[in-house]
């Protein structure tokens, strides 16, 4: 990937999603976060005390679950003679599976960024605040898209694009008649414009200043008329925000479309923002199609074939792609691998060899995205896992199923105009499994 931390960030997001859904009976799920400067020995002593306290729990079932979780946490800590440089996060406990059975979960790792929060909680769920804090990007850009029909406030951070607030307005148009009536309508029109700019400025202060401090790295004002200039020059516009304005952008639209256009026109200031990098990457993919170079591939079968040939320079995968890598084995121990789309998952049941008709059993099944995240270096490719915040990314997901590749050379056997449309993904369910943690 362009940055190793991008892959680590994606894996952490997947882990958070899985742990959020986990639930236990009673208070048998331990969440433990240890900052870099806290000693492991202190945490071990604290858990020993907690073990003694938990021994007094009246419910036998709950007592055993809590004691088991504490014991598991103590065993995980024994693996670390000292606190890692970025701290340590531990999740242990008994969770309930979909079929109502209990399963013990043990997860411990050093995160890719230092843990800033000390945490110990024993509950019926895992507490993920320390992990969520690691995903926050300190570089945030604010956007105000303002025109005569309304205003939109947006924020861009990492691979997240968010609309913070939006409202509409009805302003009087210029009055075409002469005389005193024209002067009166002119005054009313000017007063309403000033009130509108005042409202926009006041809302900007509410959204982009928190606890008397600016919460964005830079601010971009966009619009199709002179309102953005009036806002920047207004005495009502907070001077602290004015000092953060990095660009005024002319856009043809208001609202969400104007927000998208403003992001595109501000790229030179947003080079390090993940969503902009994703936008440029997918645009490059579309450009290769428009130029008919033949140096792109999409669809699972074609992508796997191109990877095995070493032809894929950059592999683009949607983070919520639902597809599977399934390894089968026949009665003689011969193993085969199939890559299945979400709608083909039923083929895992009573699978047979396509040539011999022999019954096959499943040896392993994992998410295609998870497998690619671990195996991409074996194919000499760069992996880019994208979200769906950028409009270009949404088009890529809907039109090409969320998986595609930029190739090093043209593969003669692949013709975009004749590719089997069945390789397209029509539906993608983000709620896929995370079996590796359970």
SS (H, E, C) the chain: CCCHHHHHHHHHHHHHHHHHHCCCCCCCEEEEEECCCCCHHHHHHHHHHHHHHHCCCCCHHHHHHHHHHHHHHHHHHCCCCCCCCCCEEEEEEEEECCCCCEEEEEEEECCCCCCCCCEEEEECCCCCHHHHHHHCCCCEEEEEEEECCEEEEEEEECCEEEEEEEEECCCCCCCCCCHHHHHHHHHHHHHHHHHHHHHHHHHHHHHHEECCEECCCEEEEEECCCHHHHHHHCCCCCHHHHCCEEEEEECCCCHHHHHHHHHHHCHHHCCCCHHHHHHHHHHHHHHHHHCCCCCEEECHHHHHHHHHCCCEEEEEEECCCCEEEEEEECCCCCEEEEEEEHHHHHHHCCCECCCCCCECEEEEEEEHHHHHHHHHHHHCCEEEEECCCCHHHHHHHHHHCCEEEEECCCCCCCCCCCCCHHHCCCCCCCCCCCHHHC
User: What integer pLDDT is reported at residue 28 of this predicted model?
Assistant: 80
Per residue in 378-419, pLDDT tens? 999 999 999 888 888 899 999 999 999 999 998 765 444 444
pLDDT of residue 46: 92
Q: What pLDDT score was predicted for residue 433?
A: 37
| Global confidence as pTM | 0.69
| pLDDT, tens digit, 9 for 90 and up, residues 131-142 | 888 887 768 899
Provide, rounded to the nearest whole percent, the portion of the chain with pLDDT above 90. 45
Q: Give the pLDDT confidence of 351-389 residue by residue, as tens digits.
A: 777 777 777 888 888 999 999 999 999 999 999 999 888
The tens digit of pLDDT for each residue in 191-224 reads: 888 999 999 999 999 999 999 999 998 999 999 8
- Assess contact for 225 and 197: CB atoms under 8 A: no
Interval 84-108 mean pLDDT: 87
Q: How confident is the model at residue 176 (pLDDT cuts 50, 70, 90)?
A: low
Mean pLDDT of the 20-43 span: 88
Nearest 5°: the CA angle 131, 52, 60 is: 90
pLDDT at 434 over 70: no
Q: What integer pLDDT is reported at residue 221 of this predicted model? A: 95
Judge contact between 294 and 303, C-beta under 8 A. no
Calculate the average pLDDT of the chain: 84
Residue 33 CA to residue 241 CA, distance in Å, equals: 36
Q: Is the pLDDT of residue 437 over 50?
A: no
Say if residues 73 and 47 touch (Cβ distance below 8 Å).
Answer: yes
């Amino acid at each position: 990937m362009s940055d190793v931390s991008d892959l680590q960030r994606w894996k952490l997001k997947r882990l958070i999603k899985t742990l959020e859904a986990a639930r236990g009976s009673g208070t048998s799920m331990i969440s433990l976060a240890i900052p870099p400067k806290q000693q492991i020995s202190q945490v071990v002593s604290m858990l020993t005390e907690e073990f003694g306290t938990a021994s007094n729990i009246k419910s036998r079932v709950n007592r055993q679950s809590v004691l088991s979780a504490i014991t598991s946490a103590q065993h995980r800590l024994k693996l670390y003679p000292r606190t890692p440089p970025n701290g340590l996060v531990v999740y242990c406990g008994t969770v309930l599976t979909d079929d109502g059975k209990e399963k013990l979960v043990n997860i411990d790792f050093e995160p890719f960024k230092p843990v800033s929060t000390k945490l110990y909680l024993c509950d019926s769920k895992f507490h993920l605040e320390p992990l969520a804090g690691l995903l926050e990007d300190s570089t945030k850009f604010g956007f105000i898209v303002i025109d005569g029909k309304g205003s939109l406030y947006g924020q861009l951070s990492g691979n997240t694009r968010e609309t913070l607030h939006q409202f509409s307005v009805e302003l009087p148009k210029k009055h075409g008649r002469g005389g005193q009536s024209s002067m009166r309508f002119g005054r009313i029109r000017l007063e309403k414009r000033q009130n509108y700019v005042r409202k926009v400025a006041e809302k900007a202060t509410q959204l982009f200043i928190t606890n008397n401090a600016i919460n964005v790295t830079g601010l971009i004002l966009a619009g199709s008329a002179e309102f953005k200039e009036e806002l920047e020059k207004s005495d009502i516009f907070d001077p602290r925000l004015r000092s953060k304005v990095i660009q005024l952008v002319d856009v043809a639209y208001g609202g969400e479309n104007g927000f998208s256009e403003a992001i595109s026109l501000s790229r030179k200031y947003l080079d390090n923002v993940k969503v902009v990098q994703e936008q440029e990457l997918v645009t490059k993919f579309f450009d290769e199609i428009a130029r008919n170079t033949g140096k792109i591939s999409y669809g699972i079968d074609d992508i796997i074939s191109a990877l095995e040939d070493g032809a894929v320079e950059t592999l683009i995968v949607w983070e919520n792609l639902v597809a599977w890598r399934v390894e089968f084995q026949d009665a003689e121990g011969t193993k085969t691998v199939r890559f299945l789309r979400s709608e083909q998952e039923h083929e895992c049941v009573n699978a047979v060899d396509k040539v011999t008709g022999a019954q096959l059993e499943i040896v392993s099944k994992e998410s295609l995205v998870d497998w690619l995240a671990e195996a991409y270096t074996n194919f000499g490719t760069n992996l880019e896992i994208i979200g769906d915040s950028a409009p270009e990314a949404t088009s890529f997901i809907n039109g090409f199923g969320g998986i595609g590749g930029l190739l090093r050379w043209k593969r003669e056997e692949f013709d975009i105009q004749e590719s089997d449309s069945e390789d397209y993904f029509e539906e993608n369910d983000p709620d896929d499994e995370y079996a590796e943690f359970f």
